[in-house]
Chains A and B, each alone.
Chain A
Amino acid sequence: MIQEIVARLQQRHRTMRYPYGEPPPLPDRFRGRPVVDPARCAAGCHDCEKVCPTGALCATAPETLDLGKCLFCPECAAACPHQAISYASSHQLAARERADLVVSRERAAIEVKRAALDDALRKLFGRSLKLRQVSAGGCNACEADSNVLTTVGWDMGRFGIQFVASPRHADGLLVTGPVSRNMVLALKKTYDALSEPRIVIAVGTCAISGGVFAGRPEVADGAASVVPVDLYIPGCPPHPLTVLDGLLRLIGRVR
C-alpha cells in the first residue's frame, strides 16, 4: 500500500480544470479547419483542390469547405503556391446538422455551430449521458481518442458522461468508422437495443462521410446512412478536446 501512495504522490493530481478553467494547450502544429486568405488566393488556381484526398475542397462548390469530408491533413496548405491556406487553432468543430459542416473557407467566417440538444432531451441527458461505442470500420484512432476521455486527465465521468458495456444501459451510440457493410446489421441491432429517446454521435470524418473510403462498395459512407445522427464531430481523428467539447455542448455544459 505504501508504494501505491508514494507513486500517487509522484504522479500528482492530473485532472484538467477545463471547462471551469482554460482548455489544455493544443500543439502549435495542431490543424483545426483549413482557412483561406482571400487576399493571397489566386483566382483560377485549383492546386489545393487537386491534392485534397476527399474533395472537402471542391472546385464545383467554390468558397466552401466540407468539414465532414476534411481529413485535416497538411496537403492543401502544402500545395498552395501562394501560402494562402493555414489552419485555424479552434478545437470547436462539432455540429448538430450535417449541412452546418459545409462552411466558408475564410477565417473571418468562422463561427461555432449549434450543438445543443433541445430542452427536453437536455433535461434528460444533461447530467447523465451513457454511451455505447460502436466501431464500424473505424481504424481505432477515433476510438482511442474518444476512449482517452475516460482517463484521469480528461475524466469525462465528471460530467456524468460514461461509456457503458451494453446498449441496454445506454442513452446513445458513439459511432466511429465509415460503417463497413459487414457492420451495418450489427450497428442497426445495437441501435435498436437502445431504449428511446436515444441519440447518435458520429465521431470522425469516416463516420460522417465515409472519409477516404467514401464511395467504396465495402462501406456505407458513414453512420447517417444507417441510423439518424444527432451530433457530428469532425476530425481524422478529432482531438480529444474536440470530442469533449462536442459532448459538453450537446448536453449544454459548455456554450
Chain B
Amino acid sequence: MSASLADFVSVANGQAVALERVPVLPLESLHAAIASGVVSGCRVSALFGAAAPQPGATRLYAVLADDGQNRLWVAASDVIGDSYPSLTPRCAQAHLFEREIAEQFGLRPEGHPWLKPVRYRSSWTGRDVWARPTEETILPAAGDFYRVEGDQVHEVAVGPVHAGVIEPGHFRFQCHGEQVYHLEIALGYQHRGVEEALLNGPDARTIHRVETLSGDASVAHATAYSQIYEALAGHAASARAQALRGIALELERMATHIGDLGALAGDVGYLPTASFCGRIRGDVLNMTALLCGSRFGRGLIRPGGVGFDADGERLAELGRRLDACEKDAHVAIELLWKTPSVMARFEEVGVVPRKVAAELGLVGPAARAAGLERDIRRDQPCGIFCFSQIPLATCESGDVFARAYVRWLEIQYAIAFIRDQLQALPTGAVRVPAGACAPDHFAVALTEGWRGEVCHVAITDAQGRFASYKVVDPSFHNWTGLAYALRDQEISDFPICNKSFNLSYCGHDL
C-alpha cells in the first residue's frame, strides 16, 4: 500500500496552517494511512466532516496524534454522494466518529458494524441515513439496541433520569442474573448544538459557549479554544498567562479527581473518605475562585492570555491553601488503599486491558490506568507544558483500582506542579489583544483535561470566521471504554465503574 502518513501535513499542537496545505487524498489512501498509522501507534484525535468546494460533496478531515513523534498528522478526502466504505472494520476507534459523520451529514459508512445515531438529531444536510420521516420528532434512544437472546437472559434499562445528581443518558444492560453480558449506552439527551452555535464566530458568545462545553472541564476547553484562536491570530499568550492557565488546569484536575475518589468511596459504602473528599474538592474549587471569582474558572481563560492576574499576596494565599489541601487529601485518600473492604471492591472490577484500551483509542486516566503512556502534557506539549513537565502517572491493571490510583498520583503531581509555578511565575502582562483570525486556515489544539485529551479543530472561511468548529471531548473516546469495562461484571459494579471513568454527557452530546 502506497498510502502513508508521508502524504499528510504535519501540524504541531496549537498551530495553524493554510487550508490549502491540508492535502486532499483519495478516500482509500486516507483510510489506509489512518489504519496503518493506528497500527504503528497513532491515535485518531478527530475525524469529522465539513463542507467541500464542489456541491454535493463532503470533505472528511482526519487528525491523527503521533505521540511518539510529538506530531499531529492532518489530511482530508472528498466523499461524493451519500455513502462511502466504512473505516471502522479496519480501525475500531473510528466507530463513533463515523456514526457522528453519518448523523450530521447523512453519509452512510458502508460496512459499519453498528450504525446508530449519536445524538438523535436531524442532519445538517437534509439527508438522513436512517430514512426517518422529516415531519416526525426524533426521540433520543429510539431504535434497536444490541440484544442477547437466550434462556433467562434479561434486559435492564436505566435512565435518562438517574438516581443521583448527574446528567441524563440511557443505559441498556443485557444480563444473565447479576452478570452483565453487554452494556449499550445511548446518549444525546444533552445535545445543545454547540458546534453549530460556534459557526461564524468568534463573537461575543463564543468563549462562553466553550466554557459550558463541559462545566467541570471549563478550563481545559477554554484553553484549547484560546490556543486555536491564538494560532489563527498568530499571537501567543505571554509566559505568565500560560503559567496561570497551567495552574488553573491542574486545579481543575485536582478538584475533580479528589471529588471522584470521594464518590468512589461513597459507592462502596466507605463514608469517611466520601465525606472528607466532598469537602476538600470544594476547597480546591475555592482556590480557582481565588484566582478569578468563579469556582469553575469562568472568565479566567481568554484568547490572548488570562482575564485575571494574581499579585504576590494572592499567590501566597494560594500556596497556603494548597499546603492545607495537600495534608487533608493525603489523610483522606490514603485511607482507601489501607482499607481491605475498599480494595476488595476496587480490584479486578471493570478491567479494560491495555490492548483493548489501545484499540478503542481511550485517553486520559482511563488509558493510563491500562498502562498506555499517553498524556498530551508530555506527548504534545503546548503552553506552559513545553517548559515545565509533569510526570506521567500509569498503572497496569486497568481496573477500578488503577483508575482511582492514577488519579491519586495525578493529584500529587498537580500539587507539585502548581507549587513550582507559584515559586517562579514569569513576569509580564497577562493578556494582550489577540487580533483577528487568519482567513482560510486550519488550526488544531489539544489540552490534557482531567478526563483526557480535549481536541478542538477550527477551519476559517475567507473572512476569518469559523466555517467549521470541531470539538472532541475525551468522553467521546471513553464512553465505549466504560461499556467494555462492564462486560462480565455484576450489574451492581456499574456505579463504581461509571464513577471510575466519570465521563461527560454534555461534552459528548455537544
A residues in contact (CB < 8 Å) with B: 3-4, 7-8, 10-11, 14, 27-31, 50-54, 71-75, 78, 87, 132-148, 150-153, 163, 165-167, 177-178, 180-183, 185-186, 190, 206, 211-213, 216-219, 236-237, 239-240
Contacts and interface: CB of A to CB of B under 8 A. Distances in A.
Interface stretch (B51-59, B288-296, B393-401): B288-296
Contacts of A144: 215-216, 296
Contacts of A7: 272, 276, 331-332, 335
B197 interface: yes
Contacts of A74: 293, 299, 307-308
Given A8-B272, A180-B190, A142 B168 contact: no
A75 B192 contact: no
Interface in B137-195: 139-140, 160-161, 163-168, 188-194
B290 A27 contact: yes
B506 A3 contact: no
Given A14-B279, A140-B214, A236-B298, 8 more contacts: A7-B272, A11-B279, A135-B505, A148-B282, A185-B139, A186-B189, A212-B205, A218-B196
A31 B119 CA distance: 35
Contacts of A137: 189-192, 506
- Which of B212, B286, B289 has the most chain A CB atoms inside 10 A of its CB? B212
Contacts of B191: 137, 180-182, 218
B121 A165 contact: no
A182 B120 contact: yes
Interface string B471-510: 0000000000000000000000000000000001110010
Nearest to A166: B163
A82 B101 CA distance: 48
B120 A31 contact: no
A139 B275 CA distance: 24
Contacts of A186: 160-161, 168, 189
B131 interface: no
A219 B510 CA distance: 12
Contacts of B218: 141
B121 to A, nearest CB: 7
Interface residues of B, number: 63
A10 B328 CA distance: 8
B276 A183 contact: no
Given A7-B332, A11-B331, A180-B189, A153 B282 contact: yes
A180 to B, nearest CB: 6
Given A143-B165, A151-B279, A71 B192 contact: no
Contacts of B139: 182, 185
A30 B299 contact: no
Nearest to A147: B165
A8 B328 CA distance: 10
A228 to B, nearest CB: 19
Interface in B192-234: 192-194, 196-197, 204-205, 208-209, 212-216, 218
B426 interface: no
B204 A10 contact: no
A218 B193 contact: yes
A218 to B, nearest CB: 4
B319 interface: no
Contacts of A136: 168, 189
Contacts of A50: 204
A4 B168 CA distance: 35
Contacts of B291: 29
A72 B194 CA distance: 20
Contacts of B505: 135, 140
A145 to B, nearest CB: 7
Nearest to A210: B192
A244 to B, nearest CB: 13
Contacts of B506: 137-140
B353 interface: no
Given A11-B276, A166-B163, A141 B192 contact: no
A216 B276 CA distance: 41
Given A78-B307, A182-B140, A216 B167 contact: no
Contacts of A132: 161
A141 B289 CA distance: 14
27 contacts: A7-B335, A10-B331, A11-B279, A27-B293, A31-B294, A71-B208, A87-B293, A135-B505, A137-B191, A137-B506, A138-B167, A139-B214, A143-B166, A144-B216, A147-B165, A151-B275, A166-B163, A177-B190, A180-B191, A180-B192, A180-B509, A182-B188, A186-B160, A206-B212, A212-B209, A219-B193, A239-B295
B282 A151 contact: yes
B189 A219 contact: no
